[in-house]
Each structure stands twice: as structure tokens, then as C-alpha cells.
Amino acid sequence: KAGVTQTPRYLIKTRGQQVTLSCSPISGHRSVSWYQQTPGQGLQFLFEYFSETQRNKGNFPGRFSGRQFSNSRSEMNVSTLELGDSALYLCASQLGTGENTEAFFGQGTRLTVV
Amino acid sequence: AQSVTQPDIHITVSEGASLELRCNYSYGATPYLFWYVQSPGQGLQLLLKYFSGDTLVQGIKGFEAEFKRSQSSFNLRKPSVHWSDAAEYFCAVGVSGTYKYIFGTGTRLKVLA
């Protein structure tokens, strides 16, 4: 069974630009969550999507947004990039129904803002 | 507020020695608890999880963890460490009613040959 696929693996962007990251969850999983990982702040929850709806949101500015498609694939977008947005962005795939279940993570997208 | 604390930022052990990584959580209800491992530049791999039942849980790669409600702890153990275990380890709690995780700050493990 294929795992969680994130594309691209690496990105370099300039301040002020926008970026879109993609995540394909495990087949049959309908919940996709996004996390930002930085050396200073650690792993922080961005948002979670289920059936194309955002169910939960972390404490990030509105420049961070996401969406989910009918096939459960998800994208996250960061607009007006800042240097501090440089991070590893991780996508997590879960079944999405019932009580909290284990999350399976992708390899991440390493975003560097210059 | 819900939180997870991993008191040790770095731990160094010799290959073949035993290992214990500490994790303390602050959570009002029965927690869903997880341990993940991350190699440099990689994603997170689930080592083990605790939802309910037996407080000693077995995971992959020879790891185990014990849930102690009275101490609000979920420490990870391995009887004999291998050089390939060098990585960063994260403890996490799943927030009930959501699919959100709260992670600890991680413990970086170094293994001496």
C-alpha cells in the first residue's frame, strides 16, 4: 500500500512570492493534516481537512491556507512568503472517522525562502 | 492547556546500551499517545501508540513504551540500542475530538560505536 506522497520535496522561493505544496494521502484515508516544522518552534499544527472541509485550524496567519479535493488529495498555499516561513512542511494522513487514530506522515517538503 | 514535554534535548548512549526517553504530558482526558522517529531530512515514522488497555505497548524496531497515568508519563524504552537508532524522537498527544496532534520538542539521540 502506497504511503503519503508529498510534492515537491524541495522548494526555493523569494520573499513575497507564493507557494503551493501538494499531499496525496494513503488510499482510503480521508483526513489530511499539515504541520510546520522549524528548529525554533518544533512541530506545529497548521490545519486539518476532511471531506473537502477544514475541520481544525492552528494558530497561523491567514497567509497559510489549504484545500482538499474530492479524491482526498490536499494542497496548502502560503502567500506573500516571509523568511520565517522557511521550514519543513509535513502532511499527515489519517482515516478521519471515529476517535483519533494514528497519523502517517509524508517525507515533507523543505521550503527555503530567500 | 494541553502540552507535551520531552525534558532531554540530547541523549548519547553507547551501542548495545539500554535507552529510555522521557515524555510527560498535560491533558485533561484519557490521552492518545504516540512516539515517532525522524531521521535527518525525513518525515515522521510511527514507532508505537497508546489508546487504551495494557499500559505497556510494544512497537516496531524493538521499542516499547509504558503509560503511567499517575505520573502523566509515556516513556520510550529499548533494551539494546543499535547505531541505526540515531535519530530524533518525538512524543505526541492526540487531541480528543479532533485529529490534531501536539508534539513535544523532540529528543535527539546519538549512538556511540
pLDDT digits (tens, 9 = 90+) for A33-78: 999 999 989 999 999 999 999 999 999 999 999 999 999 999 999 9
- The minimum CA-CA distance between B42 and chain A, rounded to whole Å, is 5
pLDDT for the residue B96: 81
Contact status, residue A50 vs residue B99, Cβ threshold 8 Å: yes
The three-state secondary structure class of A98 is: coil
Residues linked to residue A38 through DSSP beta bridges, in sequence order: A42
Confidence of residue A10 (pLDDT cuts 50, 70, 90): very high
The Cα A17–Cα B15 span in angstroms is 46
pLDDT for the residue B27: 84
The Cα A46–Cα B42 span in angstroms is 19
pLDDT for the residue A1: 63
The Cα A22–Cα A81 span in angstroms is 17
- The minimum CA-CA distance between B17 and chain A, rounded to whole Å, is 28
The Cα B53–Cα A109 span in angstroms is 36
Cell numbers found for residue B26: 498535560
Give yes or no for B94 touching A (CB within 8 A). Answer: yes
Q: In this complex, do A43 and B41 lie within 8 Å of one another by their Cβ atoms?
A: no
Rg (chain A; Cα; Å): 13
Confidence of residue A25 (pLDDT cuts 50, 70, 90): very high
Which of B99, B3, B12 has the alpha carbon at shortest distance from A42? Answer: B3
- The minimum CA-CA distance between B92 and chain A, rounded to whole Å, is 10
Q: In this complex, do A100 and B98 lie within 8 Å of one another by their Cβ atoms?
A: yes
Q: In this complex, do B43 and A108 lie within 8 Å of one another by their Cβ atoms?
A: yes
Mean pLDDT of A21-28: 96
Give yes or no for B30 touching A (CB within 8 A). Answer: no
How many Cβ atoms are within 10 Å of B86's Cβ, its own excluded? Answer: 17
Please report residues of B whose CB lies closer than 8 A to that of A96. 99
Contact status, residue A42 vs residue A35, Cβ threshold 8 Å: no
The Cα A92–Cα B103 span in angstroms is 13
- The minimum CA-CA distance between B113 and chain A, rounded to whole Å, is 27
CA angle, residues B65, B96, B50, in degrees to nearest 5: 15
Give yes or no for A105 touching B (CB within 8 A). Answer: yes
Q: pLDDT under 70 in chain B at which residues?
A: none
Alpha carbon separation from A68 to A32, A33, B85 (Å, rounded):
8, 10, 35
More confident residue, A8 or B96: A8
Residue showing cell 494542497: A75
